[in-house]
A and B are shown apart, each in its own frame.
Chain A
Amino acid sequence: MAAPMLRWGCRGRRWAFARVDGGSCHRRGAPTGSTSNQIRGESSVAQQPLHTAQKTRKGEHKWAAVVGLEIHAQISSNSKLFSGSQVRFSAPPNSLVSFFDASLPGTLPVLNRRCVEAAVMTGLALNCHINKKSLFDRKHYFYADLPKQSQVIPKTVRIKQIQLEQDSGKSLHDNLRSQTLIDLNRAGVGLLEVVLEPDMSCGEEAATAVRELQLILQALGTSQANMAEGQLRVDANISVHHPGEPLGVRTEVKNLNSIRFLAKAIDYEIQRQINELENGGEILNETRSFHHKLGCTMSMRDKEGKQDYRFMPEPNLPPLVLYDATSLPAGADPQQVINIDQIRETLPELPSVTREKLVQQYGMLLEHSFTLLNEVGLLEFFQNVIKETRAEPKKVTSWVLNTFLGYLKQQNLAVSESPVTPSALAELLDLLDSRTISSSAAKQVFEELWKREGKTPGQIVSEKQLELMQDQGALEQLCHSVMEAHPQVVMDVKNRNPRAINKLIGLVRKATQSRADPVMIKEILEKKLSL
């Protein structure tokens, strides 16, 4: 397609729509742009960071990797950025194409207010500086169209800028008939381009940053940000160098359609570059594609080489002026102006705030709050359990994050596909809390629940006779028999071997088929042994 593309560009050549403002944060490595051949002039420092995990890599002390990301998020809107055509995923090809989208001569762009608001909202949520006046640029080209289990230490990734762009159509190559088929449904859909500074140093950090952005966009409703449907597309710029030396030549890795592959591809590419350099090779400034099945990156052998997009100001759109409470002209028609302060008021709770609340309210670790938010639906599940159970929040956290999430991961299920409902887990935790069952019995009950037999925890407990033995006399009797049967262990206890008592407790529990409360057993044993 030869249709001009429009973007909010920065001072001089383009205007950044939004950039992070003020704050203080040390930068590392060379200044921005030294590795980048992009012309975006804005450099800025972080205020509101995207939290990512930091993990030291083993055996790579002499090499440091530098990773920057360019993320395109499809704006969730009813119609396209500059035309009235509908935006819908998987509609019949070319069924959502206006005259403008097909770039019929004489058609002109008309800016979609919703897309601007979405961009402002995203900028505000990321604490970016919103430019009050933005200009649109034309871009020219010819083209037919987390696994989050490790330790999390919050770290800062700076946002360079956010831009509004038009999405392109899709080309389908039919090699058999040597045809190229074009679907313009996607052409002209609004995109938010978010550029993250090269503050990351491994795949996992990048993955965490993208996941965080995804959560923010979803919380705002500005993008569905579903990577599998192409609503969130990530390109990674990667280079390696020796700390203290200038940055290395970077490659751009494309075709990253899941967060898992993003992390994999980056780590592969870092290792590839290190190997290449250590073997005396050199890194080419090139675009590489990640191959999912082979798990490696491959040169895309760009035929055209470096593209000059020949940017120029878009003459058909007047400068976009945004207002705030102080600059809003008196008597302005609210339908004709965008008020940043008004949008700020409608901002929903952001993931960072949600996490903070979880930590304060339930006393959980920050890393647990990350996990709760990162898994789709897990937070809601957790909150529903909390609502229905008397059990301690810490207990609930532990059960949801360890047992429940563990089972899900093992079977590769989403929270929504879970066989265990929040109420069932809540009931189970109540039984545990009231000491009706032991924690090992609880595990057994959970396993039964997972089988989807439609039984409640209470039913399972009574059917399998998993209740704790509450009969003091019977338990004392049992303890007595065990002591008699194991005189040597009793002797050890008396000889002050600290472990021996645990062995006795274990033996008694075994005799009760784990139905007795170990605390109770211990009390009885201690009394009998006069400790």
Chain B
Amino acid sequence: MLGRSLREVSAALKQGQITPTELCQKCLSLIKKTKFLNAYITVSEEVALKQAEESEKRYKNGQSLGDLDGIPIAVKDNFSTSGIETTCASNMLKGYIPPYNATVVQKLLDQGALLMGKTNLDEFAMGVLLLSSTLECNGAISARCSLRLPASSDSPDSASQVAGTTGMPHHSQSGSTDGVFGPVKNPWSYSKQYREKRKQNPHSENEDSDWLITGGSSGGSAAAVSAFTCYAALGSDTGGSTRNPAAHCGLVGFKPSYGLVSRHGLIPLVNSMDVPGILTRCVDDAAIVLGALAGPDPRDSTTVHEPINKPFMLPSLADVSKLCIGIPKEYLVPELSSEVQSLWSKAADLFESEGAKVIEVSLPHTSYSIVCYHVLCTSEVASNMARFDGLQYGHRCDIDVSTEAMYAATRREGFNDVVRGRILSGNFFLLKENYENYFVKAQKVRRLIANDFVNAFNSGVDVLLTPTTLSEAVPYLEFIKEDNRTRSAQDDIFTQAVNMAGLPAVSIPVALSNQGLPIGLQFIGRAFCDQQLLTVAKWFEKQVQFPVIQLQELMDDCSAVLENEKLASVSLKQ
């Protein structure tokens, strides 16, 4: 039952094959068994059981609220949940219990979903490679990523050298490794598929300590769904934070169009790019959740009043011959692993062989997206983090010499180096003397990047097909090696530009790598054509028949779990 999709288990609930309470208890017990994955920060067992009880009553009375009634879900710990601690994996918010529910959380609860818990993430969803790299994040590094555009021109031609050569080494590549609650372990580390491949490899080290990262920043949500502890999870997606871990964990990771789903209650990273993301095991499940979440919210003025077809059903596409698939040539970067590249190419061939038109398109400003994102992201971060001053809520230091000293110490203690680094650079970019040179130029580049997509879609392309990540998930020990920095820093390149343009995008698991690890590909759609995008993704999902993760060994062997837990705590201290 646990391995089924949301839709399947929903049908089982309706038919009475299982009750919501039974389902809830199974998930809770699995959450306990997989505790070493560190997917959850808070497990809301009591809340979930109570919700299950109520759901059960509704089913008995024939008053089910719909597809989500009685379905266990998990929510990233940067969505406000009334009465349940919401930490953003930061010392700053440890112990903070919001008095209200985020709109998306409320909508899921209104549909009868069971909230299993709050999932782990990088602090404030700021994924990062590793701590030492952020120490460069001061004036020196800020100056290096200056966008040297001629003031009178919108053309960033002269910026190419700057963006191309510096590569922003400290730029976030999140691994869900950098919250105060420790890193999240990728369930695929313990899959039969991966372990069998590892055995064939004579160089394989201690397999228990050699676990893989999930990607981030919504790594906890991805691990929770991937390990069958829930049927869907909310992530957030600012530069790829939902799609990236989805690709690494073999899941569907969907980022809706900006403005389709309310951000009210989502603790912001970058207001102008954040969207609630959806992680599920198949495209239809993502559509069900999207159907529950989409729609205007009077509490979020950026939600649009577009009419949405509800229920959000996806037709099964029989014929793709009328489709035009765009392949952005700039996405073929040298860092792309040959395996991903070959799968990308096969996917394009698949569409072509089924009659779709597949054309190469150009998104010429792609290479500027990382540096542009850095300026905009840090600026908004600096602004959004200003509210955490220890006065009204959250962490407050013991120093009471003066209000200023209290602010300073509170923020020093509350934020990690990554967050502080971004606040410093963001404030630097927003200074009066720097504003035009950084923020305004970055905004112009953002417009150019968004226009790239508009031009591609205007040329007749229905959806774009790209890789989601450069490669499959890497082991944590390898991930934190310094020489991985540059390569990983580029990893957001396929996902980030989509957020700057506000477009819908979805990562679909395609196949296992030679190592037995999932690889995902991304589809990008026109703004507010989320349904069309998911319909294409659903067709593709059906063609590729991605294998189910085999975790039997893990679930049966509790002693192995305990052993792993010890090792996890050792590796944390390093």
- A residues with a Cβ closer than 8 A to B are 1-4, 13, 39, 99, 102-111, 138, 140, 142, 144, 178, 180, 182, 308, 310-312, 315-318
A-B CB contact pairs (8 Å), 26 listed: A1-B389, A2-B386, A4-B383, A99-B100, A104-B98, A104-B100, A104-B393, A105-B80, A105-B387, A106-B79, A107-B265, A108-B263, A108-B299, A108-B302, A109-B301, A110-B301, A111-B301, A138-B383, A142-B389, A144-B403, A180-B403, A310-B382, A310-B435, A312-B435, A315-B272, A316-B300
Task: Pick the residue among A1, A110, A318 that contacts B299 (CB under 8 A).
Answer: A110
Determine if A315 and B271 form an interchain contact, defined as CB atoms under 8 angstroms apart. Answer: yes
Nearest chain B CB to A317's CB is how many angstroms away?
5
Q: How many A-B residue pairs have CB under 8 A?
A: 103
Tell me which residues across on chain A come within 8 A of B102, comparing CB atoms.
Answer: 106
Counting chain A CB atoms within 10 Å of each CB, the highest count among B88, B379, B387 belongs to B387
Assess A318 versus B392: contact at CB under 8 Å? Given A106-B98, A310-B430: no
Tell me which residues across on chain A come within 8 A of B387, comparing CB atoms.
Answer: 2-4, 103, 105
In the bound assembly, the distance between CA atoms of A13 and B436 in angstroms comes to 9
Asked if B312 CB lies within 8 Å of chain A CBs, one says: no
Task: Pick the residue among B382, B403, B407, B431 that contacts A308 (CB under 8 A).
Answer: B431
Tell me which residues across on chain B come within 8 A of A2, comparing CB atoms.
Answer: 386-389, 391, 407
Determine if A178 and B400 form an interchain contact, defined as CB atoms under 8 angstroms apart. Answer: yes
Asked if B93 CB lies within 8 Å of chain A CBs, one says: yes
In the bound assembly, the distance between CA atoms of A108 and B300 in angstroms comes to 6
Tell me which residues across on chain B come within 8 A of A144, comparing CB atoms.
Answer: 391, 403
Counting chain A CB atoms within 10 Å of each CB, the highest count among B263, B298, B380, B389 belongs to B389
Determine if A1 and B100 form an interchain contact, defined as CB atoms under 8 angstroms apart. Answer: no
Determine if A4 and B430 form an interchain contact, defined as CB atoms under 8 angstroms apart. Answer: no
Task: Pick the residue among A103, A310, A318 that contacts B302 (CB under 8 A).
Answer: A318
Tell me which residues across on chain B come within 8 A of A308, comparing CB atoms.
Answer: 431-432
Determine if A105 and B267 form an interchain contact, defined as CB atoms under 8 angstroms apart. Answer: yes
Tell me which residues across on chain B come within 8 A of A311, comparing CB atoms.
Answer: 430, 435
Asked if B264 CB lies within 8 Å of chain A CBs, one says: yes
- B residues with a Cβ closer than 8 A to A are 79-80, 88, 93, 98-100, 102, 263-268, 270-272, 298-302, 379-380, 382-383, 386-389, 391-393, 400, 403-404, 407, 427, 430-432, 435, 439
Counting chain B CB atoms within 10 Å of each CB, the highest count among A102, A107, A110, A180 belongs to A107
Nearest chain B CB to A80's CB is how many angstroms away?
14
Determine if A142 and B386 form an interchain contact, defined as CB atoms under 8 angstroms apart. Answer: yes
Chain B residue with minimal CB distance to A103? B387
In the bound assembly, the distance between CA atoms of A1 and B386 in angstroms comes to 9
Assess A1 versus B391: contact at CB under 8 Å? Given A106-B266, A315-B272: yes
Chain B residue with minimal CB distance to A173? B403
Nearest chain A CB to B574's CB is how many angstroms away?
31
Determine if A104 and B99 form an interchain contact, defined as CB atoms under 8 angstroms apart. Answer: yes
Tell me which residues across on chain A come within 8 A of B266, comparing CB atoms.
Answer: 106
In the bound assembly, the distance between CA atoms of A39 and B436 in angstroms comes to 13
Tell me which residues across on chain B come within 8 A of A104, comparing CB atoms.
Answer: 80, 98-100, 392-393
Determine if B268 and A105 form an interchain contact, defined as CB atoms under 8 angstroms apart. Answer: yes
> Can you name 14 extra interface pairs (CB under 8 A) apart from A105-B387, A142-B407, A317-B302?
A3-B387, A103-B392, A105-B80, A105-B98, A108-B301, A140-B383, A142-B386, A312-B380, A312-B383, A312-B439, A315-B270, A315-B302, A316-B271, A316-B301
Nearest chain A CB to B396's CB is how many angstroms away?
13
Chain A residue with minimal CB distance to B392? A102
Determine if A316 and B400 form an interchain contact, defined as CB atoms under 8 angstroms apart. Answer: no
Task: Pick the residue among B99, B299, B400, B435 that contacts A13 (CB under 8 A).
Answer: B435
In the bound assembly, the distance between CA atoms of A463 and B35 in angstroms comes to 101
In the bound assembly, the distance between CA atoms of A308 and B382 in angstroms comes to 14
In the bound assembly, the distance between CA atoms of A140 and B389 in angstroms comes to 13
Tell me which residues across on chain A come within 8 A of B80, comparing CB atoms.
Answer: 104-106
Tell me which residues across on chain A come within 8 A of B392, comparing CB atoms.
Answer: 102-104
Nearest chain A CB to B375's CB is how many angstroms away?
11
Determine if A4 and B301 form an interchain contact, defined as CB atoms under 8 angstroms apart. Answer: no
Tell me which residues across on chain A come within 8 A of B393, comparing CB atoms.
Answer: 102, 104
Determine if B403 and A106 form an interchain contact, defined as CB atoms under 8 angstroms apart. Answer: no
Determine if A107 and B264 form an interchain contact, defined as CB atoms under 8 angstroms apart. Answer: yes
In the bound assembly, the distance between CA atoms of A104 and B99 in angstroms comes to 9
Determine if A106 and B389 form an interchain contact, defined as CB atoms under 8 angstroms apart. Answer: no
Nearest chain B CB to A109's CB is how many angstroms away?
7
Nearest chain A CB to B378's CB is how many angstroms away?
11
In the bound assembly, the distance between CA atoms of A44 and B59 in angstroms comes to 68
Task: Pick the residue among A109, A111, A312 that contacts B379 (CB under 8 A).
Answer: A312
Assess A106 versus B265: contact at CB under 8 Å? Given A142-B407, A316-B271: yes
Chain B residue with minimal CB distance to A314? B271
Tell me which residues across on chain A come within 8 A of B383, comparing CB atoms.
Answer: 4, 138, 140, 310, 312
Chain B residue with minimal CB distance to A333? B305
In the bound assembly, the distance between CA atoms of A178 and B406 in angstroms comes to 13
Task: Pick the residue among B267, B391, B407 that contacts A182 (CB under 8 A).
Answer: B391
Tell me which residues across on chain A come within 8 A of B264, comparing CB atoms.
Answer: 106-108
In the bound assembly, the distance between CA atoms of A108 and B382 in angstroms comes to 17
Tell me which residues across on chain A come within 8 A of B391, comparing CB atoms.
Answer: 1-2, 144, 182
Chain A residue with minimal CB distance to B270? A315
Determine if B388 and A110 form an interchain contact, defined as CB atoms under 8 angstroms apart. Answer: no
Nearest chain A CB to B373's CB is how many angstroms away?
14
In the bound assembly, the distance between CA atoms of A492 and B407 in angstroms comes to 91
In the bound assembly, the distance between CA atoms of A107 and B392 in angstroms comes to 14
Tell me which residues across on chain A come within 8 A of B389, comparing CB atoms.
Answer: 1-2, 142
Nearest chain B CB to A73's CB is how many angstroms away?
25
Determine if A105 and B93 form an interchain contact, defined as CB atoms under 8 angstroms apart. Answer: yes
In the bound assembly, the distance between CA atoms of A107 and B79 in angstroms comes to 11
Closest 4 CB pairs of A and B: A310-B430, A315-B272, A315-B271, A2-B386
In the bound assembly, the distance between CA atoms of A327 and B100 in angstroms comes to 40
Counting chain B CB atoms within 10 Å of each CB, the highest count among A13, A106, A138 belongs to A106
Nearest chain A CB to B211's CB is how many angstroms away?
31
Tell me which residues across on chain B come within 8 A of A110, comparing CB atoms.
Answer: 298-299, 301
Nearest chain A CB to B461's CB is how many angstroms away?
27
Counting chain A CB atoms within 10 Å of each CB, the highest count among B271, B382, B391 belongs to B391
Nearest chain A CB to B561's CB is how many angstroms away?
34
In the bound assembly, the distance between CA atoms of A108 and B100 in angstroms comes to 13
In the bound assembly, the distance between CA atoms of A315 and B268 in angstroms comes to 11
In the bound assembly, the distance between CA atoms of A104 and B383 in angstroms comes to 14
In the bound assembly, the distance between CA atoms of A408 and B264 in angstroms comes to 56
Nearest chain B CB to A4's CB is how many angstroms away?
6
Tell me which residues across on chain A come within 8 A of B432, comparing CB atoms.
Answer: 39, 308, 310
In the bound assembly, the distance between CA atoms of A182 and B389 in angstroms comes to 13
Tell me which residues across on chain B come within 8 A of A106, comparing CB atoms.
Answer: 79-80, 98, 102, 263-268
